Amino acid sequence: MTSSDWTIIDRAKSVRRYSRLDEIESVLRDHWFSYLLVVPIALFLVSLMWFPFMRGIWMSFHKWPFVGEPQWVGLDNYTFLMSWDVFFISMKATVLFATTTFIQLVVALAAALAVSQISRFKSVINGVFLIPYAMPPLVSGTIWVYLLEPDLGPVFGYLTKWGVLAESIYWTANGDTALAVITFATAWTFWPFMFIIFTAGLQKIPDEYYETARVYGANRWQTFRNITLPQLKGPILVAISIRMVWNLSKVSQPLQMTQGGPGYETSILAVLLYNYTYDRGQLGFAFTLGVILFVITFGFVFLFIREFERENEVGRA
């Protein structure tokens, strides 16, 4: 290429660059107030969220008993964590406890489908279903502690009366049953959240879809599989993402019902982090647990968000 050719190319690049600058200037001039409103939110995120978050990652490389200056220990907290038996017990409990998300999904979807077929007293039924979610977690946890109390609780009273159990069982103090109990209690408390999302999603499905399915003789299972479920895929992914984050960071039910015990059988990572922060005051190690919990939570949510975006792209196409 000759020098004149390069000159033409450079001029073309300059024109494009200036045109982009003019476009940006035009956008800022026309929408300056909208961008001005974003500034407080950006400052909030940076000062109260992102800065503490980055500071927490930095502190995970320190030993800090909350007194005195933090002491740099490098990767010692992480190497200890990888060789700590309690960490793997907690990881197992965390994964199993996270399955409550899918228990809530099944119950909420079944309830939403059932209510959608009812024509009378629908608002009353919806209100009854929302009662567990309306309760503060402390109240719902207290209810379950009372229900499962071995001596005075009505659950064991009826089971022994009907001959199902010969004697009381301390389910929350048994390593084989404690995690299942708090998982069930958490699912009972929070499944109405998904129920709300699925109910709203069902109302947005056009009736024409179901009328066409009836014309072609589709049965209920075929209608659910080919119409209802695909139309609810977006709400399902959103509900799972939100509930997964909440369940992985949940401490109220495990702390109230089992205190993370017996041993460490119900000490999910959030409970372990809570104990090392407030009970033991080992903040450097607690930050390390927090980083691990964030990576796990982000990994789960990233998978569902990517699938949700793929679903939106297919829908737009």
The confidence score (pLDDT) of residue 15 equals 42
Residue 227 lies in a domain: yes
Residues 255 and 142 grouped into a single domain: yes
CATH code: domain of residue 112: 1.10.3720.10
Residues 146 and 37 grouped into a single domain: no
Residues 267 and 220 grouped into a single domain: yes
Count of domains for the chain: 2
Three-state DSSP at 62 gives strand
The confidence score (pLDDT) of residue 264 equals 84
Instruction: Please give the Cα distance from 247 to 239 (Å, whole number).
Output: 12
- Written as tens digits, the pLDDT of the chain (317 aa) is 555 444 544 444 444 554 565 666 665 666 666 767 777 877 777 777 777 788 888 888 888 877 778 888 888 889 998 888 989 988 888 888 888 888 899 999 999 999 888 878 888 888 888 888 888 877 888 888 888 877 777 777 777 777 666 676 777 777 778 888 888 888 888 889 999 999 989 988 888 888 888 888 888 888 888 888 888 888 888 888 888 888 888 788 888 888 887 888 888 888 888 888 888 878 888 889 988 888 888 888 788 777 767 766 655 55
Residues 89 and 36 grouped into a single domain: no
Residue 96 lies in a domain: yes
Residue 182 lies in a domain: yes
Residue 68 lies in a domain: no
Following CA atoms 288, 292, 293, 298 in sequence, which dihedral angle do they give, to the nearest 10 degrees? Answer: 140
Instruction: Please give the Cα distance from 96 to 197 (Å, whole number).
Output: 24
Residues 6+ apart with CB under 8 A from 190: 100, 104, 132, 133, 243, 246, 247
Residues 108 and 157 grouped into a single domain: yes
Residue 72 lies in a domain: no
Residue 29 lies in a domain: yes
Residues 162 and 225 grouped into a single domain: yes
Domain that holds residue 193: 81-316
Residues 230 and 260 grouped into a single domain: yes
Residues 190 and 89 grouped into a single domain: yes
Residues 171 and 265 grouped into a single domain: yes
Residues 228 and 294 grouped into a single domain: yes
Residue 264 lies in a domain: yes
Instruction: Please give the Cα distance from 165 to 110 (Å, whole number).
Output: 31
Residues 283 and 241 grouped into a single domain: yes
Residues 86 and 53 grouped into a single domain: no
The confidence score (pLDDT) of residue 132 equals 85
Helix ranges, the chain (H):
3-30, 32-45, 51-59, 76-82, 85-98, 100-116, 122-129, 131-134, 137-147, 154-161, 178-203, 207-215, 220-223, 229-231, 233-248, 252-257, 269-274, 283-316
The confidence score (pLDDT) of residue 27 equals 58
Cβ–Cβ under 8 Å, residues 287 and 106: no
Residue 260 lies in a domain: yes
